[in-house]
Structure 1
Amino acid sequence: MALELGGSRVSLERTPDGRRLLVRHDVDASVDTVWEVLTDTDCWPDWGPSVSAVEISDRHITAETTGRVRVAGAVWLPFEVTACAPYRWTWNVARLPATGHFVEDRAGGSVVGFEIPPLATGYAPVCARACRRIATLAQQRES
């Protein structure tokens, strides 16, 4: 069963990390362009409603990337990317499993999405907003 939230679809599904709440949003941009937006830490404050800054040694994340992310405009939290393969990455923030991020191909564009641990379902509206921002950024890059 899927629900609609701010133009995004929300459903409970099995992922490589177990059951997660998935927030998906259609994007009129290529998979590669959306992936670039998701993995470019310079873009995170532009699309992440809770992220105001990132400290990292390399601009683009890879598997095992570590750094710090500033949330709520003031608190710095350490993070580690736990998996990063083409079109899907996951991370731990403050040593806790956080959202997964993915891009899927679709006719005429792509789908961007987040995987949310079941105990963090209240974060779905934030992820829906992030999906809309990612779509806008990716579409701007391609125009």
Structure 2
Amino acid sequence: MFTDTHSEVCFERGPDGRHLAVSRDIAASPDAAWEILTDTTYWPAWGPSVTGVDCADRVIRAGSRGRIETAFGMPLPFEITSCEDFRWTWDVANVSATGHRVEALDDGCRVVFEVPVLAAAYAPICQRALGEIERLAEG
């Protein structure tokens, strides 16, 4: 659908139905990227809309609950609905939100955000987040 020099956006069908896949290949190990995605202390560093996280679990797991502080000044509750095999999903304010996954490549990994079709306008924010994840993972 759309490609820039660093990321790709396309439609795909996954375990939770059809969504936009916003992805970027990075020169880091899948474990390094996964750590950045699942350790809540990293979320404000790569999430443009997240300014803080309050969660009892530093590293998320299925069932983790907490609050994210948003750039809009509004705290929103979240719950991690699944977290296994290098993929996690969540509900934010009781609404199914982006999925996150890491795929191994021969020379690094691919990080993918699964964006609900109705939230397609969020894709550029995900592209920016992928750039920050790349910076953190490769840095």
- Alignment length (residue pairs): 139
Cα distance, 1:6 vs. partner?
6.1
Letter paired with 1:43: Y
1:125 maps to 2:136: no
SS class of match (2:133): helix
TM-score w.r.t. length of structure 2: 0.97
For structure 2, list consecutive stretches of 5 or more residues without a partner in the other structure.
none
**Map 1:104-143 → 2, pairs under 5 A:** 104-140=103-139
Indicate the percent of aligned positions where both proteins have the same amino acid: 50
Structure 1 runs (4+) greater than 3 angstroms displaced: none
Cα distance, 1:76 vs. partner?
0.3
SS class of match (2:67): strand
- Whole-Å separation in 2 of the counterparts to 1:68 and 1:62: 15
What's the Cα RMSD here?
1.0
Shifted more, 113-122 versus 3-12: the winner is: 3-12
Q: Contact 1:52–1:73 (CA<8 Å) still a contact in 2?
A: no
Letter paired with 1:99: T
TM-score w.r.t. length of structure 1: 0.94
Cα distance, 1:86 vs. partner?
2.4
For structure 1, list consecutive stretches of 5 or more residues without a partner in the other structure.
none
